[in-house]
Copies of this chain bind each other. A is one copy, B any other.
């Protein structure tokens, strides 16, 4: 059953013409007669010809593949971004190659290398938590290969990036809590090193300030923002002389941890303590009460990065100036914060 694959040479032979002509005919070159084109198409069909992308890639130096590097593919946010990228990329005949860094610097460096060797036409990445040195990404850029960062980016890299307005998201969340009548609003924050957490914190602070609420350092708890961290942070807050009446967590996981503790202690949500998370993870839908959160526009983020890639490829990479796209996050108000 295993037929050899037909090449343009096979088609050429059948028609007593050369491969050049076949190649041009298939690409609808204007200097090839309609007759020949039709004949070529017909034979191609009959031989079940399928173009060899690899040969074309070698010749043109273009693989039509976009490399994607994500910390992990099995987190809702990232897989959703990937989907967004693929949607756009496919329309322009690009395929995507996905690699995971597992949030590990060494693996990330190796991955970049692998993608470069695979001669991808561009790389879209969100860097690993442990990454502090960006040499490997600079290398990509300096080779003239379009590089676009999303979610997590780095200014000094000077490449295009797509992020959400973390500041705005946080600001809106806190403003919403204030509107609900909350006065002592606590905040779960993450590693200071990562800009998204700094931004969320800034949004939190400024929202308070703009509404005449004094900033109280004891209400801010830093951690890794996982479920258990959320539990611990909540317990810590509950032991304060004066309890908070709301918690804005920089991650949904942290908020869920807090929710568990509150429920265990029969503290009512949102009446006693209102809760807002960040990320719009699928499980926020299923919690009881449903968690108010901030949507990160993951699919749009994917779409946007892919579009920038296409632009940059189109611009021939000469005149293209890196641009930073900032998506507006969406506050999704659910029961955990709705007092009215």
Binding site for B on A (CB under 8 A): 1-3, 5, 50-55, 57-58, 63, 65, 72-76, 79-80, 82-83, 86, 95-100, 113-119, 142-144, 227, 256, 260, 263, 281-283, 285-288
Which residues of B sit under 8 angstroms from A72, Cβ to Cβ? 83
A63 touches B54 (CB 8 A): yes
Q: Which residues of B contact A53 (CB under 8 A)?
A: 117-119
Interface contact A100-B118, CB-CB below 8 Å: no
CA distance A74 to B96 in the complex (A): 15
CB distance from A295 to the nearest CB of B (A): 14
Q: Which of B54, B142, B287 contacts A54 (CB 8 A)?
A: B54
Question: Which residues of chain B have C-beta atoms less than 8 A from A97's C-beta?
Answer: 65, 95-98
Known: A256-B286, A282-B283, A283-B286. 6 other contacts (CB 8 A): A54-B54, A73-B79, A76-B282, A95-B99, A96-B97, A227-B285
**Alpha-carbon gap, A3 to B260, bound state (A):** 56
In the bound complex, CA of A72 to CA of B53 (Å): 25
B117 and A52 within 8 A (CB): yes
Cα(A92)–Cα(B126), bound, Å: 24
A286 contacts which chain B residues (CB < 8 A)? 256, 283, 286-287
Shortest Cβ distance from A171 into chain B, in angstroms? Answer: 27
* Cβ contacts under 8 Å, A117 to chain B: 50-53
Which one of A95, A100, A263 has the greatest number of beta carbons of chain B within 10 Å?
Answer: A95
Q: How far is the CB of A93 from chain B (nearest CB, A)?
A: 8
Q: Which residue on chain B has the smallest CB distance to residue A61?
A: B54
Contact A119 B52 (CB under 8 A): yes
Residues in B with CB closer than 8 Å to A144 are 2
A-B contact pairs, 30 of them (CB 8 A): A2-B144, A5-B143, A51-B117, A52-B117, A53-B117, A53-B118, A53-B119, A54-B57, A54-B63, A54-B119, A58-B58, A65-B118, A72-B83, A73-B73, A73-B79, A73-B83, A74-B76, A74-B83, A75-B79, A76-B76, A76-B282, A79-B79, A82-B98, A86-B99, A95-B97, A95-B99, A97-B97, A227-B285, A256-B286, A288-B288
Residue contact B116 to A1, C-beta cutoff 8 Å: no
Is B142 a contact partner of A50 (Cβ separation < 8 A)?
Answer: no
Complex: A75 Cα to B75 Cα, angstroms:
9
Q: Is the CB of A142 within 8 A of B2?
A: yes
Bound state CA distance, A197 and B140, in angstroms?
A: 47
CB–CB B113/A86 < 8 A: no
Closest to A63 in B: B54
**Complex Cα spacing A95 to B63, Å:** 14
Q: What is the CB-to-nearest-CB distance from A120 to chain B, in angstroms, rounded to a whole number?
A: 10
A112 CB, nearest partner CB in chain B, Å: 11
**In the complex with contacts A96-B98, A97-B95, A286-B283, A55-B52 CB distance below 8 A:** no
CA distance in complex: A116, B97 (Å): 15
Measured CB to CB, the closest approach of chain B to A35, in angstroms, equals 27
Would you list the 5 A-B pairs with minimal beta carbon distance, nearest first? A283-B283, A74-B79, A79-B79, A283-B286, A1-B142
> Which residues of the partner chain B approach A119 to less than 8 Å between Cβ atoms?
52-54
Q: How far is the CB of A25 from chain B (nearest CB, A)?
A: 18
A99 to B85 Cα, complex, angstroms: 11
